[in-house]
Amino acid sequence: MVWFRTLIRSSLINQPTKPRNLGLLEPPRLLSLTHFSTEPSSSPTSEVKENVDKQSGLPPTRAEEKPRVVVLGSGWAGCRFMKGIDTSIYDVVCVSPRNHMVFTPLLASTCVGTLEFRSVAEPIGRIQPAISREAGSYFFLANCTSVDVDKHVVTCKTVVDGVKTLEPWSFDVAYDKLVIALGAEASTFGIQGVMENAIFLREVYHAQEIRRKLLLNLMLSDVPGISFEEKNRLLHCVVVGGGPTGVEFSGELSDFIKSDVHHRYAHVKDHIRVTLIEATEILSSFDDRLRVYATKQLIKSGVRLVRGIVKDVKTQKLILSDGTEVPYGLLVWSTGVGPSKFVTSLDLPKSPGGRIGIDEWLRVPSAQDMYAIGDCSGFLESTGRPVLPALAQVAERQGKYLAEQLNKVGKAGGGRANCTEDVDVGSPFVYRHLGSMATIGRYKALVDLRQSKEAKGLSMAGFASWFIWRSAYLTRVVSWRNRFYVAINWATTFVFGRDISRI
Amino acid sequence: MVWFRTLIRSSLINQPTKPRNLGLLEPPRLLSLTHFSTEPSSSPTSEVKENVDKQSGLPPTRAEEKPRVVVLGSGWAGCRFMKGIDTSIYDVVCVSPRNHMVFTPLLASTCVGTLEFRSVAEPIGRIQPAISREAGSYFFLANCTSVDVDKHVVTCKTVVDGVKTLEPWSFDVAYDKLVIALGAEASTFGIQGVMENAIFLREVYHAQEIRRKLLLNLMLSDVPGISFEEKNRLLHCVVVGGGPTGVEFSGELSDFIKSDVHHRYAHVKDHIRVTLIEATEILSSFDDRLRVYATKQLIKSGVRLVRGIVKDVKTQKLILSDGTEVPYGLLVWSTGVGPSKFVTSLDLPKSPGGRIGIDEWLRVPSAQDMYAIGDCSGFLESTGRPVLPALAQVAERQGKYLAEQLNKVGKAGGGRANCTEDVDVGSPFVYRHLGSMATIGRYKALVDLRQSKEAKGLSMAGFASWFIWRSAYLTRVVSWRNRFYVAINWATTFVFGRDISRI
């Protein structure tokens, strides 16, 4: 592609006028153009055009080029890796269906307008600027469809996202090093109707959908002609799954109801309710004392907690295993994650739980130059280590470790494909849990700083924790721009309330 | 509806527990519920439910209630009216398919991320808080489908907006006063393919669509396998219509290209181009000197100006009347507005141009208690006055005038339907043009303070004008919240550049 770009660039330079200046006319008279074409008229020749059409992908790197790291995915793991990789050693190519990283711990806040969507999304081009500037580095809006381990090539398909004028096309990208950071998928446990009727809470568009639906339901429930049952159904928000995401979303929702619905939708405020359904116990990874506290707080905020197992999901109601029918207007599903179909389809050894199996250096042992990090990967049973939880902090730490590792390998001359044998790989990856945090609404949060469920350590709950939670996130939000936005959003929500325009 | 709400409220109060507290269980143990229902178990009786189902609309107001003003639409005219109406005299009911007002002069800035979408949208509940709080005031997310002048009733149909579980339903709203402020529709001049392929620039979702498409095209044009022609097509942004909207959008787009695409999409920066097609001359309402200046500036920014008439719009190209084919990746249509289908269908006398005909007091003469303001209305030929241009300032001034007028009428006891005969209606509406402004990108703007095209007066262009433009808009943005957001957006864009995450 480099030669291609150079060719185009020089062909543009050779032209008497730059294409952008074609057709510039004397002000203020505008003439009609008899010839009108979007390509510079003098270039390229038809021969070049044909080459371009057939040229479909990035060929293996040559000796005079930098070795190429291909990163699949743009979540916590992939983005932290790209942030850390030394672009003076490597060219970076990122393949992902989304051009930004989502700051997932704050996503629940965007559903009700406490934060704006953009405040929790960081463009990859800001995380690793080389991707938008360097000649050999790219971001491709695409999904990986297959990996050829022997040839060191991934095949990808573009994401055209509903644009009717374009057919998605496939292309190959050769890699020197491949970093698989594809994350996981929301688990539905094979329950019928979940995919069709429930909204997950993993991407910005999920949060947008929840916000639009919530506001729509609030408005429609106030329109004359709606029946009493239908009004109650529309305003019944059901959350399935009592993990941190489900609990945080329930807390945000009850905050929204208390402080905004009561003022802005006073006509229907007595009809809106939040139910959290969990099969076992909420926040099971947290300290018992914190769990009791969270339960008490949630109930105080008006969240109805129900222990139950969802059996079936219909368009307007879900059915629990004991036959109870629960009508809903909004259904948010957050019962944890599992390996994606693509990860499952890969012909690679797997860890317990079906993730891509890795060794202590985050390498896929059976495949040369292949690494897997984040929620899509897990230690192989043979390593004797437990599979790490699907947490942002695990993914982030792995991305950081691997970037340092590959920088070291690259510096030692092992950056090229099939060149790593003689390079010292250093010490293996060790994970140290820093603790868990969850907000539960009403300026309250839980902070559990124990290393594991059995270990001793600090755990606390309440306003101080909430303050720690906010500060911690504010300092960990990826960029200064987003830090600034998040702070401004929190301030405006505090002063002006949440925004309720349905756009 | 008031009796219904009172009934429900009292039935809720009579219950031993509030419905929200049903099912609250002792922490931390959560029990499974054998009975689960969204309505409070003890109320209402089935008799009430039936009544509710059949009750479909707001009946005429009774003597003990306030008279009801029904406002159709939530644009400049309707919102300014609602802001000014005295809710101690009237109940206000707004019927609109959108729950916010769009600050249209800044909409073009949101397409490229200079401003965020929420900064230009103001919820109606903030403009007139009574709508979300008072017992007899409402906002209905619906479209008006017919008006019964004699019965003083409008029939409306809810907007369910793609939600599959709900069928839209109709309901009636009786009015004492009816204010029609439905605005206008983008004109397509009957050209085939415009509706299907072009994006207008009138609503927030239009700006969102433009932004998503622009970013998609930028990313796809960098993916291997795309042909040279296709890349140029994708990155060709065509704007049809050289009025203020088209010019401002072109200016914003060229700013975006200059300062952001060159940094963030360096690989494809030489391929992106902007073409503005106009049949006559750009900014025809402005001073000649300003027009020359604008033309020069636009060309300097790299906008290609083309004089031509669009004959046909295909999915990937448009065809001019001289047969020239113009391939495009993004097509924005801003050739002015005309009366909507609904306005045309109303059996009322029309002004020249097909708008709802009004007299000097903004009344629809043939229909008792009916008023029309903003772009949907125009002076009847019999008034001897010219139809006012479809401008925000006209709509806003009319809304303000009419609110004052109806407040006066209401205070004099003429608020009820068919009661206005004896009330002094005061002086007629007089429009004084305050001048026009348009930004053309690169910190430049035009300010034309002449009262009409022929009159003398101040007109200026350049950086000072741009500063006036910004300040003027900042002080005219509806609320303090949005003023604050716009200022913050401008500041962050200046410091950090525009946001390019495609969410």
pLDDT mean over B139-168: 92
- Give the strand pairing for A356-358 and A377-379: parallel
Contact A299, A311 (CB under 8 A): no
Closest residue in A to B481 (Cα) is: A496
Q: How far apart are CA B403 and CA B86, in angstroms?
A: 8
Instruction: Give this prediction's pTM.
Output: 0.88
Helix (H, G, I), strand (E, B) or coil at B398: helix
Contacts of A379 (CB under 8 A, 6+ apart): A351, A357, A358, A359, A360, A385, A386, A387, A388
Lowest mean pLDDT among A398-412, B47-61, B306-320, B466-480: B47-61
Give residue A12's pLDDT: 35
Helix (H, G, I), strand (E, B) or coil at B28: coil
Contact A184, A351 (CB under 8 A): no
pLDDT mean over B24-28: 37
Q: What are the b/e assignments for B123-157, b being 16+ CB within 10 Å?
A: bbbbbbbbbbbbbbbbbbbbbbeebebeebbbebb
Lowest mean pLDDT among A28-32, A252-256, A423-427, B199-203: A28-32
Cα torsion through B479, B482, B488, B489, rounded to 10: -150
Whether the pLDDT of residue A493 is over 90: the answer is no
Asked if B30 and A316 come within 8 Å (Cβ–Cβ), the reply is: no
- What residue has token string 């009108």? A36
Dihedral of CA A209/A211/A212/A216: which sign? Answer: positive
Give residue A112's pLDDT: 94
Q: ∠ at Cα A346 (A342, A352), nearest 5°?
A: 95
Contact B283, B438 (CB under 8 A): yes
Q: How far apart are CA A159 and CA A97, in angstroms?
A: 6
Domains identified in chain A and CATH numbers:
68-184+339-412 (3.50.50.100), 199-335+434-496 (3.50.50.100)
DSSP code at position A266: T
Say what percent of chain A tops pLDDT 70.
88
Give residue B84's pLDDT: 96
Q: Which of B132, B161, B220 sits opposite A266 (nearest CB)?
A: B132
User: How confident is residue B392, by pLDDT bands cut at 50, 70 and 90?
Assistant: very high
Task: Please name every residue paired with A76 in a beta bridge, in sequence order, or none if there are none.
Answer: none
Find which of A17, A18, A36 to mutate to test the B interface (most B CBs within 10 Å of its CB).
Answer: A36
Cα torsion through A383, A384, A390, A393, rounded to 10: -80
Cα torsion through B288, B289, B291, B296, rounded to 10: 140
Q: How far is A36 from chain B (nearest CA, A)?
A: 6
Best CA proximity match to A36, nearest among B372, B307, B73: B307
Task: Please name every residue paired with B405 in a beta bridge, in sequence order, or none if there are none.
Answer: none
Asked if B324 and A228 come within 8 Å (Cβ–Cβ), the reply is: no
Contacts of B290 (CB under 8 A, 6+ apart): B283, B446, B448, B459, B460, B461
Q: Which of B227, B308, B501 sits opposite A100 (nearest CB)?
A: B501
Alpha helices in B111-191 (DSSP H): 124-127, 130-133
Asked if A236 and B117 come within 8 Å (Cβ–Cβ), the reply is: no
Contact B112, B214 (CB under 8 A): yes
Asked if B30 and A222 come within 8 Å (Cβ–Cβ), the reply is: no
Q: How far is B371 from chain A (nearest CA, A)?
A: 24
Q: Which two tokens stand for residue A450?
A: 């124990």
Amino acid identity for residue B500 in this structure:
I
Q: How far is B355 from chain A (nearest CA, A)?
A: 28
Report ipTM for this prediction.
Answer: 0.87
Give residue A16's pLDDT: 36
Find which of A68, A172, A220, A231 to mutate to test the B interface (most B CBs within 10 Å of its CB).
Answer: A220
Number of Cβ pairs < 8 A linking chain A and chain B: 320
User: How confident is residue A329, by pLDDT bands cut at 50, 70 and 90?
Assistant: very high
Q: Which of B139, B225, B501 sits opposite A121 (nearest CB)?
A: B501
Asked if B304 and A266 come within 8 Å (Cβ–Cβ), the reply is: no
Contact B388, B379 (CB under 8 A): yes
Whether the pLDDT of residue A45 is over 80: the answer is no
Give residue A361's pLDDT: 96
Q: How far apart are CA A336 and CA A313, in angstroms?
A: 17
Give residue B312's pLDDT: 97
Contact B375, B395 (CB under 8 A): yes
Closest residue in B to A233 (Cα) is: B38
Residues of B within 8 A of A123 (CB-CB) are: 264, 499-501
User: How confident is residue B434, by pLDDT bands cut at 50, 70 and 90?
Assistant: confident
Closest residue in B to A309 (Cα) is: B32
Amino acid identity for residue B449 in this structure:
L
Q: How far is A208 from chain B (nearest CA, A)?
A: 9
Task: Please name every residue paired with A92 in a beta bridge, in sequence order, or none if there are none.
Answer: A69
Amino acid identity for residue A60 in this structure:
P
Task: Please name every residue paired with B155 in a beta bridge, in sequence order, or none if there are none.
Answer: B146, B172
Q: Which two tokens stand for residue B251?
A: 């200016």
